[in-house]
Amino acid sequence: MTDDQWFREAVVYQIYPRSFQDSNGDGIGDVPGIIRRLDYLEQLGVDVVWLSPIYTSPQDDNGYDIADYQDIDPTFGTLADVDSLIEQAHARGIRIVMDLVVNHTSDEHPWFVESRSSKDNPKRDWYWWRPGRGAEGRDAPNNWESFFSGPAWELDEATGEYYLHLFSRKQPDLNWENPEVREAVYAMMRWWLDRGVDGFRMDVINMISKDTALPDAEPVPGSSMVFGGDHFLNGPRIHEFLREMHASVFEGRPEKLLTVGEMPGVTVEDAVLYTDPERHEVDMVFQFEHVGLGIGAHKWDRSRVDLRDLKASLGRWQEGLAKVGWNSLYWNNHDQPRAVSRFGSDAPEHRVASAKLLGTVLHLHRGTPYVYQGEELGMTNVPFATAADFLDIESVNYYALAVAAGGDAEHILANLRIGSRDNARSPMQWDDTTNAGFTTGQPWSATNPNYTEINAAAAVADPESVFHHYRRLIELRHTEPAIAHGDFTMLAPDHPTLYAFTRSHEGTDLLVLANFSGDELDLSDTITEPDRWSASTMLLGNLADPASPTAPLRPWEARLLKG
């Protein structure tokens, strides 16, 4: 492995700073809080920490609406705190990756304040301004809807024109067609690298190149949203922009930096192009296919994912990026419900086993695994009681519009409990003291009441905990080359509850067996070469040692065998 592929042996831990650790009692997590918990991350063994945005922001979308890219929001601390975080993380061998949100800015960013001030302002063209349509221009320039409900256009009274916002109206989209915009973004990125950060997670980066004609979208029958994705996902100049960014920001740096592009709607074929090292675009992408499974025509209609579909999807990505490019691996993040509640079982008797099983399956795929804060404790979805408990803009807007449209409030609430991003954003559960040790004040978002049982202090003290299982998985990636570099082969794709695959590398074969159910699972008809595997070594299991490596799998049992 060349040095510039170090990320293949790395595990990334995502911190959502607002919910990680409060240090000053205002109920909101902050950078000094993160510094306090670096020893915990070092013990877990992660190589990289990715921080969700901490820049100056009105917090309309919890920091994904940035008003100053080169300063820290006072809620989270100061630039000096970030310098200290970088230094103290590096001292522990942990790299720091920042969130890069440059598809849009806040409407309070000085660029937008100038842009909206008049039609002939030099920064007018930095955003997407268009006159309205119809009689007296009262209709929006096209029919696209925002990801957060309602039209993707906002009329600005000052000049009588509309601006585009694919997300909230406080997140106007930047116009990447304008070379000044691109140069301003690259300069800002270089400034962060000079400060010592080790790379970027790039928010919705495959939306930055839009069809400049901004045509109407074809409404999809039965779909909940008029989605203009065909006109702004993986758009005409996207590869050009990413390569230009690479040349202008990353080339010639002394250290290989990490780049991961968040890309809704990306296909395997696109991802090969985005992540081919020869093309110099990004190291890996976050794709959305597996987290889109079980979602109906309406994005809030969710059902349990069929394991066969999950295997088919993840297996296709493994195959598609086997030779060229690289996968990122994740079950959840700050936008997704908790993994154990969604793909495992958060019932008390299965929670620990299924959380470890999920970790085992994910970390043994080929790609770079991402751990979302609290996943390593098996944190669950939150039992939100009323509509007022939901704070996220996407959830709040959906509830208001769906109720106004005559929807059944209980049904809408049920959808939110399953799918709301707020599930991922409750405070990190550190210990069993008040507010889970997250804050001495009033936490900004409700603490999950199960913190008395599920918390880091208890997990660190218990060698059989989810935490220590994740720690072992991370350690194994560093010591067993087949995990980072081996080929992947899916087994038994049609089995409804068995997730099984092999990894092979230079004469080493690994077999992963995982029972995604609460029933015992007999392996006799499912694995080839049973004799060989019955004599293999168990590298890791999530339950007490089985009678033999190929004994029937108990409920939610997972095994890693080396043959």
Site for ligand TEU in 530-559 (CB under 6 A): none
Given 30, 61, 99, 161, the residue binding Ca ion (CB under 5 A) = 30
Q: Active-site residue 203, yes or no?
A: yes
Q: Which does 28 bind (CB under 5 to 8 A by kind): ligand TEU, Ca ion, none?
A: Ca ion
Give whichever of 102 and 473 is closer to ligand TEU, judged by the CB atom: 102
From 161, 198, 262, 422, active-site residue? 262
Cα dihedral 289, 293, 297, 303, rounded to 10, equals -160
Helix (H) or strand (E) holding 559: strand 558-562
240 three-state secondary structure: helix
Q: Which does 26 bind (CB under 5 to 8 A by kind): Ca ion, ligand TEU, none?
A: Ca ion
Sign of CA dihedral 81, 84, 86, 88: negative
Given 5, 6, 9, 26, the residue binding Ca ion (CB under 5 A) = 26
Compute the distance between CA of residue 61 and CA of residue 392 in angstroms, rounded to an integer.
7
Give whichever of 168 and 426 is closer to Ca ion, judged by the CB atom: 426
CB 165 within 8 A of CB 149: no
Site for ligand TEU in 142-201 (CB under 6 A): 147, 167
Q: Which does 335 bind (CB under 5 to 8 A by kind): ligand TEU, Ca ion, none?
A: ligand TEU
DSSP states of 342-372? HTS--STTTHHHHHHHHHHHHHTSSSEEEEE
Q: Which does 32 bind (CB under 5 to 8 A by kind): Ca ion, ligand TEU, none?
A: none
Verify binding: residue 540, Ca ion, rule CB under 5 A. no
The token pair that represents 355 in the structure block: 């959380």
Q: How many residues bind ligand TEU (CB under 6 A)?
A: 12
DSSP 538: E
Verify binding: residue 22, Ca ion, rule CB under 5 A. yes
Site for ligand TEU in 65-104 (CB under 6 A): 101
Q: How many residues bind Ca ion (CB under 5 A)?
A: 5
Rg (CA), the chain: 24
Find the shortest distance in angstroms from Cβ 171 to ligand TEU: 6
Find the shortest distance in angstroms from Cβ 268 to ligand TEU: 18
Given 229, 264, 320, 563, the residue binding ligand TEU (CB under 6 A) = 264
CA 92 to chain centre: 24
From 173, 203, 335, 389, active-site residue? 203
Q: Active-site residue 432, yes or no?
A: no
Compute the distance between CA of residue 11 and CA of residue 46 in angstroms, rounded to an integer.
5
Verify binding: residue 60, ligand TEU, rule CB under 6 A. no
Find the shortest distance in angstroms from Cβ 108 to ligand TEU: 15
The token pair that represents 432 in the structure block: 């069993």
Give whichever of 335 and 480 is closer to ligand TEU, judged by the CB atom: 335
434 three-state secondary structure: helix
Compute the distance between CA of residue 375 and CA of residue 364 in angstroms, rounded to an integer.
16
Q: Which does 376 bind (CB under 5 to 8 A by kind): Ca ion, ligand TEU, none?
A: none
Q: Which does 204 bind (CB under 5 to 8 A by kind): ligand TEU, Ca ion, none?
A: ligand TEU
Find the shortest distance in angstroms from Cβ 495 to ligand TEU: 30
DSSP states of 466-520? HHHHHHHHHHHHHH-HHHHH-EEEEE-TT-SSEEEEEEEETTEEEEEEEE-SSS-
Give whichever of 442 and 452 is closer to Ca ion, judged by the CB atom: 442
Closest CA to 232 of 206, 252, 254, 270: 206
Helices and strands in the chain, H and E counts: 17, 18
Find the shortest distance in angstroms from Cβ 167 to Ca ion: 25
Give whichever of 61 and 283 is closer to ligand TEU, judged by the CB atom: 61
Verify binding: residue 16, ligand TEU, rule CB under 6 A. no
Given 6, 8, 9, 24, the residue binding Ca ion (CB under 5 A) = 24
Compute the distance between CA of residue 549 and CA of residue 546 in angstroms, rounded to an integer.
7
Give whichever of 26 and 42 is closer to Ca ion, judged by the CB atom: 26
Verify binding: residue 394, ligand TEU, rule CB under 6 A. yes
DSSP 259: E
Give whichever of 47 and 173 is closer to ligand TEU, judged by the CB atom: 173
CB 507 within 8 A of CB 536: no
> Which residues does 263 contact at the CB level (< 8 Å), separation at least 6?
204, 205, 206, 233, 234, 270, 271, 274, 285, 286, 287, 288
Compute the distance between CA of residue 51 and CA of residue 506 in angstroms, rounded to an integer.
36
Site for ligand TEU in 190-219 (CB under 6 A): 203-204
Compute the distance between CA of residue 18 and CA of residue 22 in angstroms, rounded to an integer.
8
Complete edge-to-edge strand list for the sheet that includes strand 368-372: 284-286, 258-262, 199-202, 95-100, 48-51, 12-15, 368-372, 328-329
Find the shortest distance in angstroms from Cβ 452 to Ca ion: 23
CB 415 within 8 A of CB 424: no
Find the shortest distance in angstroms from Cβ 40 to Ca ion: 18
Give whichever of 64 and 516 is closer to ligand TEU, judged by the CB atom: 64
Given 10, 11, 12, 28, the residue binding Ca ion (CB under 5 A) = 28
Q: Which does 264 bind (CB under 5 to 8 A by kind): ligand TEU, Ca ion, none?
A: ligand TEU
Find the shortest distance in angstroms from Cβ 101 to ligand TEU: 6
Report the catalytic residues: 203, 262
The contact set with ligand TEU (CB under 6 A) reads 61, 64, 101, 147, 167, 203-204, 262, 264, 334-335, 394
The contact set with Ca ion (CB under 5 A) reads 22, 24, 26, 28, 30
